[in-house]
Chains A and B, each alone.
Chain A
Amino acid sequence: MDLYQELILEHSKRPHHAGLREPFDAEVHHINPTCGDEVTLRVDVSGTGADAVVTDVSYEAQGCSISVASSSVLAEEVIGHPVVEALETFEAMRAMLTSRGQVAGDETVIGDGVAFAGVSKYPARVKCALLGWTAFTDALARAGVDITSTSSASPQGVSS
């Protein structure tokens, strides 16, 4: 079973940058209606336009190992990085996760995110892995960042 890479289990047990911190420019609360997983996520951005930098991402994630680990890797990969780069990482993650196993993921772009490559073979779990990332892009938008260069639509969840 290639879903639960050691890296994912490590991140889920000890999520990096967890907890909600000040200061922040926007806070969002996202839910996966399939299973009730929740993430509250804050972003703090400095600078504007092409110079904008993600100075902090803090979060409280309640959910499965995939969704918690995903938020942890997200924070790891975007904190301290330019917003433009963070959005590229998001796009690369999304492309990999929605590829049904066709896209392996580029470690130079998504770092520890490559550990989630196996998730893309399990369509029911893709939303778990994207929960934190879609919350992140939503928070950026609410913080006034133009994210229109990316499309933040998430795959259709199955709720009931």
Chain B
Amino acid sequence: MTDVLPFTDGELAAIRGDFPILTRTVRDGRPLVYLDSGATSHKPTQVLDAERAFYEQHNAAVHRGAHQLAEEATDDFEAARATVASFIGAPADEVVFTKNATEAINLVAYAFSNAAPTDDPKDERFVLRPGDEILVTEMEHHANLVPWQELARRTGATLRWVPVAADGALDLTGLDDLLTERTKVFAFTHVSNVLGTVNPVAELAERAHAVGALVVVDACQSVPHLAVDVATLGADFVAFSGHKMYGPMGVGVLWGRGELLEVMPPFLTGGSMIELVTMERSTYAPAPQKFEAGVPNAAQAVALAAAVRWVEALGIERIHAHEAALVDLLQRGLAERPWVRVVGPPLGTPRGGAVAFVVDGVHAHDVGQVLDDAGVAVRVGHHCAWPLHRVLGATATTRASFAVHNTVAEVEALLAALDRVPVVFGLHTEREAS
């Protein structure tokens, strides 16, 4: 990677100035130190303005009506699609707007069960039968696990999973036994929302394709933080959410290869997604409309496009470098505290924007409460990755996750607040490491 310029203090101040919420205080007047962007990011003014402007100036149900507002709303919605598609290196008609990433993954999972053997000829790649297998990994967010469990239940297919190794990477030693001609779909995350592990998507996709399996990638924790180009990623489907990348809640994205979207059965059906409807049956519009039943979330899509433009103006490489420096700083700070155990790849290994850890003898809920008391907002719990936490031997972890507006001072604030944890809970540990 070429060297990227770090943000100057002035640039960082301007970035922070774009987020109205960062000016508020919490818990008796403390400045908000928001380290929970992995759960949901805050929204810059430009995004909020874009959503409001859509409603104030163009509001109409898109792809319907011949009036001027309907034209403008449709143009805005389709321009938003083109903006988001371009951001991930895709043609516009390969981008489907969904409610969120969870719906995007369900859309694919339901396509499989909607293609279950019936009278109609179906594309075999989307047909699952008993004996077929679905492969996932042990580090998945529930959003990329439960839909596949349910799909297995509906179709009689078998769910299998790639284990996680002690260093937080996928244990690929047994992959040849897990990924076979029986595997119809391999679903895995690009970047773990807990471990921060960056999975080798291209390598995994190549091995999946070699046995004829389709590849579904959960990119929720990668698209906001590092350059993602679906043309080179190697996956067949990529799902991510808008609200984790400075966009509004209520909009997610499914990217799919054009030729697959073309033959894939729809998930939700109804208005907008049809071509011809009679009382007996219907035919469907081409993708992406086929997968966008009902009046779509146009205002949110438009605001998501504004978020993309905001990110592009800063440069995703610079954002990534900025966050990586903070992740590194936090990891080093935690390493100086022997009563803290960081989960996931060791220091120096490429990581996403999240650092999760365990404080010896103190439950994550209690850690989070002490941090919250200092105005530091982190996530505690299993982060919707309960099976992974069983592997880690932790009921729950505390997770700090970064966005571009975070600062070195905020990492220091987290560490200072963390040092109160052993005090509050009366742990006798050597916590004086400098």
Interface residues of A (CB under 8 A from B): 1, 3-4, 9, 13, 34-38, 62-66, 122, 125, 128, 160
Contact = CB atoms under 8 A, between A and B. Distances in A.
A35 B381 contact: yes
Interface stretch (B151-159, B220-228, B339-347, B358-366): B358-366
B380 interface: yes
Q: How many residues of B sit at the interface, in one of the four size bands?
A: 20 to 34
B373 A160 contact: no
B142 interface: yes
Given A34-B381, A36-B386, A36-B396, A9 B426 contact: yes
Contact of A65 (B395, B396, B425): B425
Given A4-B424, A35-B380, A36-B381, A65 B366 contact: yes
Contacts of B383: 160
Interface in B377-413: 380-384, 386, 389, 395-396
B114 interface: no
A122 B368 CA distance: 12
Contacts, number: 56
Contacts of A64: 363-366, 396
A35 B366 contact: no
B396 A35 contact: yes
Residue from A3, A62, A125, A160 having most chain B Cβ neighbours under 10 A = A160
B369 A3 contact: yes
Contacts of B424: 1, 4, 9
Contacts of B395: 35-38, 62-63
A1 B424 CA distance: 10
Contact of B369 (A38, A62, A125): A125
A128 B142 contact: no
Contacts of A3: 369
Contacts of B370: 1
Contacts of A1: 369-370, 373, 424
Contacts of B426: 9, 13
Nearest to A10: B426
